[in-house]
Chains A and B, each alone.
Chain A
Amino acid sequence: MSTTIWVIIVLAACALVGGVIGGIVHARRTRGELAPGAEPAQIQAPPKTPAEPTAAPERPAEAAEPAAEPPAPALEVPEAPATRMVRLRRRLAGSNNHLARALAELLSADRIDEDVWDDFETTLITSDLGVAPATELVEKLRSELAIEGISEPARARQLLRTELVGLVDPNLDRGLNLDHAEGRPAVIMMVGVNGTGKTTTVGKLGRMLVAQGRSVLFGAADTFRAAAAEQLGTWGERVGVRTVRGDEGADPASVAFNAVDEGIATGADVVLVDTAGRLHTKVGLMDELGKVKRVIEKKAPVNEVLLVLDATTGQNGLAQARIFAEVVDVTGIVLTKLDGSAKGGIVVQVQRELGVPVKFIGLGEGADDLAPFDPEGFVDGLLGE
């Protein structure tokens, strides 16, 4: 069958279906009537992170005592979160001082003309911030500079810092919600596209939670990728965390269910469920992900769904985040591979679009290279302070 015929068939089908559906949707809208099916199916609201300060001790950033009780002498002792922050600042500052440099250039120019501003805007764009936020930021900075007549670099830098921090929004609650009912573990799901580092993040987060003295269980619901369960198992063995696994190709929902079930039986505090990477455009796989979450909820509510985003991801990150949020109600973002030359500017857009905070950042392949996200530190790192 030739391609020509396919062209015709596809066009005919699209045109006809598009005509009928588009027309009906349009007609419905013009009637000003709410489509019967358009009601969002908000049946179970996600468990909200309590806003009161009682949640504070659960924030890994503030967990003072790291490895209070190492699981066993032979096991590795994870690094304290506090010292991680120091490394985070250093690494960010080390690799990302383009902005600071561009700003210095901006201010050192005798006359700030369109070209200079353009260059500055493009510097922002190269950090994957996106065209719209970058333009917005430049506009703001321009008008502020004009109004206040600022000429000294320190003040301008301060201004840029304030604007950037505002973009990252320091007021969001970035603690991990680990509240759980007696006898039922807190459940955290890790989701994302292929190769962003979900399994690694589960391993690192598990270590972090172990360091806080919690009993942790891994659920290897990535039954698709070859040796994913083994990879997670290796992470678990290092810190004495058991990994619940299924056969390769098993239904991931059943593996997740068993993991939570076992978590209940053994009285674990936290069950971390690793899922297979999936491109957000694969409808079937996204449905599967929704199922995994629904099935877990038969046993225990899901506390957190963490979307793992790769810092090298460009503007497509936004599309990913939107669809994952639609399917599984993402409650936090983990930005990985921030130790490279990529700046991860896409999270600013993602956070703004979803209203969901970045909770952790991954900084390398080392077992303890996961740190809580600190907006001011992130911005300082961007500015090279």
Chain B
Amino acid sequence: MFDTLQDRLAATFKSLRGKGRLTDADIDATTREIRIALLEADVALPVVKEFVSHVRDRAKDAELSKVLNPTQQIVKIVNEELISILGGQERPIRFAKSPHPTVIMLAGLQGAGKTTLAGKLGHWLSEQGHSPVLVAADLQRPNAVQQLQVVGERAGVPVYAPQPGNGVGDPVQVARDSLDEARRKLYDVVIVDTAGRLGIDEEMMAQARDIKAAVNPDETLFVVDAMIGQDAVNTARAFEDGVNIDAVVLSKLDGDARGGAALSIARVLGKPIMFASNGEQLTDFDLFHPDRMASRILGMGDMLTLIEQAEKAFDEEQARASAEKLLAGRGEFGLQDFLDQLKQLRSMGPLTKIFGMLPGMGGQMKAALDNLDEREVDRLEAIILSMTPAERADVSILNGSRRARIAKGAGVQVHDVNSLVNRFVDARAMMQSMGPMMGMGGGGARKPRPPKVERSALAMDRSAKKKGKKNKGKKKGTGRQVPTQLAGGAQNPFAKAGPQLPDAAAGGFELPENLRGMFDE
């Protein structure tokens, strides 16, 4: 069973290696793989069909690129198509002209995350200088009103809840009154949390329509769970017909669902996806990034997310120092540094998942890691922890008796210790040979690597903008033109950190052959 489109296509093209040109038959073979990959990512069937035929047409017309092999070329086309469907641009909230308050209405299925989202949205808006109020118009679900009150309290946002809920009270009246309340207390944004409802429940849809008519919202947001399957299209259509939605919010994106539903909804309704909610904390909420979503649907790895997680998990200075040490060579990088890295990496989640986010992981390496038992890693940690600081710093002092002692301490066999030490030395040597390539350390061959997948100019601009938050001084348009030949390798990223490298890495970094070779022996 293949996990990602890239794997599938790679398998299809195995026989074509060295072939410079895609025939019609090759293209037809790939479209079936694309179809299955998209279906497994929960993209709705009608959307898949249309998408696949589109990709087929483009693939036939496409000029063969010199840089990309057929697999990469198809993946590139698919990726670009995905991004274009998901919408290239951010869609900001349309605020009402004062003195009227801006009204945002949330609608969706039960359990999609509307109430939680109301809190996050309120928090986000108040951080931007607005004064929002949350309106408890879910009078259906037991204690939904209390939940909103607690959420509001946590978010530091006032809640308007005149009715106790649990089936008591008229949500339409509550919604209507909330506008007066907002005018009276000078709130400028009103967020109406409605009860969850099914698309086929006519009665409840009529109620939603009534609420909408009563408050005349500036934005009606459809909240949908990223894990939703083929039903996404039916549901989205039902809500579109029922209440006329303006934009979509994807919730629970912090799971490992591919989120193909986002694509289906964007395509079928032609509505933009405005926000993505990706965690349980109030701050886990962000504008939607189409380019990341595209990679995710394809299962191509998600470097940007990985990096963001790393930024949370890693200790900045320490990580930087140890990376420099590692790549600079001279054997300074010891087992203690390795242990630190390992621990930080593990704090980001299960190792298999982290490696899964690396693009270009394929074949045997993936197979080896899929079966990775975290307890094996615990054992490795135990071995290192059984060493003295001096031994960790310099593995060359490990003689037979030291190794025997360490094995005893960690409860393993001596050959386990040997194996760890040997692997470590090999991996370190290999990383050091890569040092110059990554623009660190001195000397060595500087081989520019071509990017596997070019990012669209839009995606580029977006991620540059994102980086702008952390990297104040940089102009956001620097990376508008994607260099076909990656020059990043020749620059020293510490001196000048252009956005080219991360983007190329995000799209097309593949672990070097020699590293993969380690798994294939």
Contacts and interface: CB of A to CB of B under 8 A. Distances in A.
Interface of A: 1-29, 35-38, 95, 122, 125-128, 130-132, 193-197, 203, 224-228, 230-231, 233-235, 248, 279-283, 310-317, 319-320, 337, 339-343, 345-346, 365
B195 to A, nearest CB: 9
A118 to B, nearest CB: 10
A340 B497 contact: no
A68 to B, nearest CB: 26
* Most chain B beta-carbon contacts within 10 A, residue among A3, A29, A228: A3
A377 B181 CA distance: 51
A3 B371 CA distance: 31
Interface magnitude class on chain B: 35 or more
Contacts of B349: 281, 283
| A-B CB proximity, top 6 nearest | A314-B229, A195-B111, A226-B150, A2-B497, A314-B42, A342-B231
A126 B467 CA distance: 39
B424 interface: yes
A345 B45 CA distance: 15
A281 B254 contact: yes
B270 interface: no
A337 B39 contact: no
A283 to B, nearest CB: 6
Given A8-B493, A23-B518, 14 more contacts: A2-B471, A5-B323, A5-B497, A15-B515, A19-B431, A23-B419, A24-B420, A36-B412, A95-B200, A126-B44, A226-B154, A319-B257, A340-B231, A341-B235
Contact of B255 (A29, A193, A339): A193
B146 to A, nearest CB: 4
A14 B368 contact: no
Interface of B: 1, 36, 39-42, 44-45, 109-113, 115, 140-144, 146-151, 154, 166, 198-200, 225, 227-232, 234-235, 238, 252, 254-258, 260-261, 280, 303, 306-307, 310-311, 314, 316, 319-320, 323, 326-327, 338, 341-342, 344-345, 349-351, 353-355, 358, 365, 368-369, 371-373, 375-380, 412, 416, 419-420, 423-424, 426-428, 430-431, 434, 438-440, 467, 470-471, 488, 493-494, 497-499, 501-502, 505-506, 509, 511, 515, 518-519, 521
Given A18-B355, A19-B515, A342-B229, A13 B430 contact: no
A121 to B, nearest CB: 10
A24 B147 contact: no
Contacts, number: 313
21 contacts: A4-B493, A7-B505, A8-B323, A8-B438, A8-B493, A12-B431, A13-B323, A25-B371, A36-B379, A194-B111, A195-B110, A197-B111, A226-B147, A230-B142, A312-B231, A313-B229, A314-B42, A314-B260, A315-B41, A320-B255, A341-B200
A19 B518 contact: yes
Nearest to B255: A279
B470 A20 contact: no
Nearest to A318: B40
B419 A196 contact: no
Contacts of A314: 42, 227-230, 232, 257, 260-261
A37 B378 contact: yes
A282 B368 CA distance: 23
A24 B198 contact: no
Given A37-B376, A340-B200, A316 B350 contact: no
A346 B345 CA distance: 32
A88 to B, nearest CB: 16
Contacts of B111: 194-197, 310, 337
